[in-house]
Amino acid sequence: MNMFFKTFFAIALLAITSLALATSVSAKDETRLRIGDVLSLSLPGEDTLTGDFTVNRDGNIELPEIGQVKIIGMPIAEAEGIARKELAKVFRDVERFTLTLKEQKLLVAVAGQVSKPGTLELPGDATVEVAIASAGGLQAGAQLDRLKIIRNSKEIVFNYKAYLDSGDLSILPKLQPLDVVFVPISPLTGNVQIDFDAATLSRSGDGGEDGTGVRVFGEVGNPAQFAFKEGMTIVDLIMRAGGVTRYAAVEQIRLITSGEPVLFNLQAWLDSGDPKLLPKLLPGATVFVPILADQIKRGKHTIYVMGEVAKPGAYEAQPGTTFIDILANAGGPTRYANGREIRVIKQNGKIIMFDMVAYTESGKAGPPPIDAGDAILVPEKLDNLEPSWLKTPPNRAIQMIGAVFKPGRYEWSDEMSLFDLIANAGGPTQNGDLSSIRILTSKDAKAKPLIFDMQAFIENGGDLSSVPKLRAGYTVMVPELPKDPTDNKSQWLTQSADRSIYIMGAVGSPGRYAFNTTMGFLDILGAADGPTSQADLRRIRVSLRGEANADPIVVDLHRYMETGDESLLPRLEPGDMIYVPDRGRDWTDIAVADTVRVMGAVGKPGRYTFNPRMTILDLLSEAGGPTNEAFQRRIVIVNMGKEVKAFHFDLEKFVRSGDYSTLPVVRPGDTVYVPDKTQSRHARFMEGIKDAAQVVGLLAAMAAL
Amino acid sequence: MKRRANILVKSAILSLSLTLAGCGHPWPQPAAGGMAERDGPVEPDHIDTATTILIESGRKRISPARLATAEDHLILAIRENAAGLYEDADEDTMAASIAVGGLNQYRQDDETACIGDTCPETARDIK
């Protein structure tokens, strides 16, 4: 039994040994020559044929006196036979010629993102990894998952990163002579050659170009696109992106895969560890980590900096942080800041003022204490010394000029109105004319004026849509009412004619006055200091200049004052002219139909304006009354109406009797004549007696002769 | 001698005649009507117009200025009528009626006379 096992073991060992030897011979036979292989040749007696020969790039070995012999791809024995055969053509005793493989080498080139790209002569069994290492190793920025080997114009792409992750050599293609190993650069590095470090590159992500990368952005340390790996979870991805920031809304993380957003509650997952809470991450997914604004506002150590600082915002303040620390973190006050009125609003509502300018100049009154929850407000400088208006570009500003308290450029927002603008400009001055606000609109490099009567709108109301809509870039001007033209004619003349009215004649200050349709006849008359004492109020004339061929209107202001009838007052328009005549004007200027002529023995004969309600007694009184020579018993009145008739009036009789029925009718256009006493009958009789006596005397004398 | 006396007598008579003839000055007729409105209107048309003015004034349908103008014309018409200036009186009566605007004459018989184009339907058109 024992003998049997010994015999069996010996036979088995022999069989195994024979099999191994056979395998070895077969392997040797299968070794085929490649470019770069070093062959050892020997032909006794021929020194030139004894030594090392290398298979060149053409696949040949060059034999002395023979030339190129192609042996590429042949087993060694076959190559030996071919070489012997060629040598036999020249040499003798070639049977002793031997050809053996001394060393195999690999000629490859390594290009791309490696330290020393170029052609390499490597050991025959060298791998891609050896080739890369021989080329100085990879450089930062290499796209590891897309390395390629270029062989006879064909490309073999392989994931070198997967090899590095797993060590699986099968991932790497086997190198062949004349292969080119190309290491591409990651597209994340952009098109500009820069020196970057691996950490920065890592933060930038490693996403591939094939759409399988996963993106993560929002409140994470390094928002980027990363390569997707099988089995990767959303937590892995977030960690790969540097984790979430302290402002991240960890309960509101969104995962978008295949176009469908899914909410992921990281907080709940951390609390429970329940894997069911992890949504499945697929290639091409997007993860968004939103910001939790409330958390910023409610930070336990947060201090708020607002206003004219370089970087307004919320800042963390650890115990011991000072006012200056916070202000410095916020970038410090800008050049528009009013450093004299910095305010610290304490959490309890108390406000502390801080004059930074004084502090920096004198060191007195140091910065106020600052605590978490406080707010620092750095106001804008408002004085005109600093051209802070430069901050507002023309396409966001509107110009306010003219008679307002604060003309200037104002930042504009379209929800504001013209009223807001004027109010913000301090309102119109005392001389501001709201009735003709001028708005210079601008559009497409063209300006167009527009006039708005704000005064009428304020007084009467109206459709708000009629108020011009302002836009940034417009210019608004509130014109100034002219002052008394006698005070400042130059300023007064700047007033446009279409806003003026003219008043001339017997008024206190004739001239050109600002006018709008809200004003009335009496406003203008009052502005001109009213009629003088010599003004003829019954015949004020108004020329309507704006109406073609319109007759002048005669305004009886006297009657207006009697009756208070507003209908007597004309409605004026800008451009009209008012003329108040003087009662003492030249008599040729007075119409015949408006006067009564008084002639004869009166104190002041002449033409007098007359009211139908008056009587001849009023007229005679105005004319100075009859003189001592007046023949009062025969005052003659000539009525010049449709019927022309003459009457006489016995003033003496009327005075004695008071019989008003004897008073004559006198109307404008009539004539009153007061004869003198020579026209009386008695005077004429006595004159006749005198004449007769003279005649008789003359005749008597003639008779006596 | 007697002949000389006759000549003197004739001359004296001639002179006296001439003298008396000079005393005969042709003065126009006496005037009247200067304040005739104080006795109130007498003519029916004037009464109608005065009534209209009073009513319109009370109703305040006509502006005070037009009422005053109408009154002026009416006063003048009354005066002219009293003075014998009848055509002028008619013209001022018309002007007074026009001045009150409505042109409706409220007659004493409580009827309304209309002389305008826009009269109430109940008015009697006397145009």
* Structure ipTM: 0.74
Q: How confident is the model at residue A657 (pLDDT cuts 50, 70, 90)?
A: very high
Could you read off the pLDDT of A28-37 as tens digits, one per residue? 446 888 888 8
The pLDDT, as a whole number, for residue A418 is: 92
Could you read off the pLDDT of A192-203 as tens digits, one per residue? 666 666 666 666
Nearest to A161 by CA among A177, A188, A138, A181: A138
How many percent of chain A have pLDDT more than 90? 18
Which of A648, A660, A681 lies at the smallest CB-CB distance from B34?
A: A660
The pLDDT, as a whole number, for residue A423 is: 92
Dig out the tokens for A101 from the structure: 């493989």
Contact flag A679-B25 (C-beta cutoff 8 Å): yes
The pLDDT, as a whole number, for residue A340 is: 83
Contact flag B75-A565 (C-beta cutoff 8 Å): no
HSE, CB side, 13 Å, CA atoms: give it for residue A574: 14
HSE, CB side, 13 Å, CA atoms: give it for residue A448: 7
Q: How confident is the model at residue A628 (pLDDT cuts 50, 70, 90)?
A: very high
Of A91-100, A208-217, A658-667, B74-83, the poorest mean pLDDT is in A208-217
CB A106 within 8 A of CB A117: no
Could you read off the pLDDT of A434-462 as tens digits, one per residue? 888 999 988 877 888 888 988 888 888 88
Give SS3 for A450: strand
Range 64-123 of A in CB contact (< 8 A) with B: none
Could you read off the pLDDT of A632-654 as tens digits, one per residue? 989 999 998 888 899 999 999 99
Residue whose structure tokens are 């060149």: A56
Higher-pLDDT residue of B51 and A210 is: B51
Of A226-230, A448-452, B9-13, the poorest mean pLDDT is in B9-13
All residues of chain B having their beta carbon less than 8 Å from the beta carbon of residue A645 are 28, 84-85
CB A200 within 8 A of CB A221: no
Reported as type and span, the H/E element at residue A316 is: strand A313-316
**Beta-sheet pairing, A511-514 with A38-42:** unpaired
Nearest to A258 by CA among A284, A224, A278: A284
Q: What average pLDDT does chain A have?
A: 83
Chain B within 8 Å of A679 (Cβ-Cβ)?
yes
Q: What average pLDDT does chain B have?
A: 74
pTM score of the predicted model: 0.42
Mean pLDDT of B50-76: 83
The pLDDT, as a whole number, for residue B109 is: 56
Give SS3 for A148: strand
Higher-pLDDT residue of A302 and A482 is: A302
Mean pLDDT of A136-155: 87
b/e for A382-402, b at 16 or more Cβ within 10 A?
eeeeeebeeeeeeeebbbbbb
Q: How confident is the model at residue A21 (pLDDT cuts 50, 70, 90)?
A: very low
Range 625-654 of A in CB contact (< 8 A) with B: 634, 636-637, 639, 641-643, 645-650
CB A305 within 8 A of CB A315: yes
Q: How confident is the model at residue A8 (pLDDT cuts 50, 70, 90)?
A: low
Angle at A432 (CA atoms; ends A431, A437), nearest 5 degrees: 155
Higher-pLDDT residue of A531 and A1 is: A531
All residues of chain A having their beta carbon less than 8 Å from the beta carbon of residue B72 are 612-613
Range 608-627 of A in CB contact (< 8 A) with B: 612-613, 615-616
Dig out the tokens for A154 from the structure: 């064909």
Contact flag B15-A693 (C-beta cutoff 8 Å): yes
Which of B8, B19, B65 lies at the smallest CB-CB distance from A685?
A: B19
φ, ψ of residue A559 to 5 degrees: the values are: -65, -35
CB A228 within 8 A of CB A214: yes
Reported as type and span, the H/E element at residue A375 is: strand A375-378
**Starting from the edge strand earliest in sequence, which strands make up the sheet with A397-402, in order?**
A408-411, A397-402, A475-478, A437-443, A446-452
How many percent of chain A have pLDDT more than 70? 87
Given a cut of 60, is residue A217 above it in pLDDT? Answer: yes
Chain centroid offset of residue A400 CA: 18
φ, ψ of residue A578 to 5 degrees: the values are: -110, 130
Given a cut of 80, is residue B121 above it in pLDDT? Answer: no
Dig out the tokens for B72 from the structure: 């002026």
Of A391-395, A460-464, A613-617, A620-624, the poorest mean pLDDT is in A391-395
Mean pLDDT of A662-668: 92
Contact flag A681-B23 (C-beta cutoff 8 Å): yes
Say how far apart CA A388 and CA A69 lie, in whole Å.
Answer: 89
Given a cut of 50, is residue A341 above it in pLDDT? Answer: yes
Could you read off the pLDDT of A402-436 as tens digits, one per residue? 999 999 888 888 888 999 999 999 999 988 888 88
CB B50 within 8 A of CB B41: yes
Residue whose structure tokens are 């590159």: A201
Chain A within 8 Å of B18 (Cβ-Cβ)?
yes
Mean pLDDT of B39-57: 82
Nearest to A425 by CA among A398, A404, A454: A404
Mean pLDDT of A374-395: 73
- If you measure CA to CA, which chain B residue comes closest to A558? B65
CB A598 within 8 A of CB A674: yes
Chain A within 8 Å of B95 (Cβ-Cβ)?
no
CB atoms within 10 A of CB A690: 11
Given a cut of 80, is residue A240 above it in pLDDT? Answer: yes
**Angle between helix B64-83 and B86-99 (nearest 10):** 170
Write the CB contacts of A410 (distance below 8 Å, at least 6 apart in sequence). A397, A398, A399, A400, A421, A424, A425
Chain A within 8 Å of B29 (Cβ-Cβ)?
yes
The pLDDT, as a whole number, for residue A14 is: 46
All residues of chain B having their beta carbon less than 8 Å from the beta carbon of residue A615 are 34-35
CB atoms within 10 A of CB A25: 10
As beta bridge partners, residue B104 has B114
CB A437 within 8 A of CB A404: no
Chain A within 8 Å of B63 (Cβ-Cβ)?
yes
Give SS3 for A490: helix
Chain B within 8 Å of A678 (Cβ-Cβ)?
no
Contact flag B31-A612 (C-beta cutoff 8 Å): no
CB atoms within 10 A of CB B3: 8
Range 537-576 of A in CB contact (< 8 A) with B: 556, 559-560, 562-565, 567-568
- If you measure CA to CA, which chain A residue comes closest to B39? A661
- Closest Cα in chain B, distance from residue A526 (Å): 22
Q: How confident is the model at residue A19 (pLDDT cuts 50, 70, 90)?
A: very low
Chain A within 8 Å of B77 (Cβ-Cβ)?
no
Dig out the tokens for A284 from the structure: 């091409």
Of A239-243, A255-259, A340-344, A461-465, the poorest mean pLDDT is in A255-259
Nearest to A502 by CA among A512, A516, A487, A494: A512
All residues of chain B having their beta carbon less than 8 Å from the beta carbon of residue A703 are 4, 7-8
Write the CB contacts of A606 (distance below 8 Å, at least 6 apart in sequence). A587, A597, A598, A623
The pLDDT, as a whole number, for residue A387 is: 56
The pLDDT, as a whole number, for residue A204 is: 66
All residues of chain A having their beta carbon less than 8 Å from the beta carbon of residue B38 are 660
- Closest Cα in chain A, distance from residue B49 (Å): 17
The pLDDT, as a whole number, for residue A596 is: 92
Could you read off the pLDDT of A555-584 as tens digits, one per residue? 989 888 888 888 888 888 888 899 999 887
Given a cut of 60, is residue A18 above it in pLDDT? Answer: no
Say how far apart CA A99 and CA A59 lie, in whole Å.
Answer: 16
Given a cut of 90, is residue A664 above it in pLDDT? Answer: yes
Which of B11, B23, B72 lies at the smallest CB-CB distance from A684?
A: B23
The pLDDT, as a whole number, for residue A268 is: 87
Mean pLDDT of A144-168: 88
Q: How confident is the model at residue A215 (pLDDT cuts 50, 70, 90)?
A: confident
Q: Which amino acid is at B73?
A: H
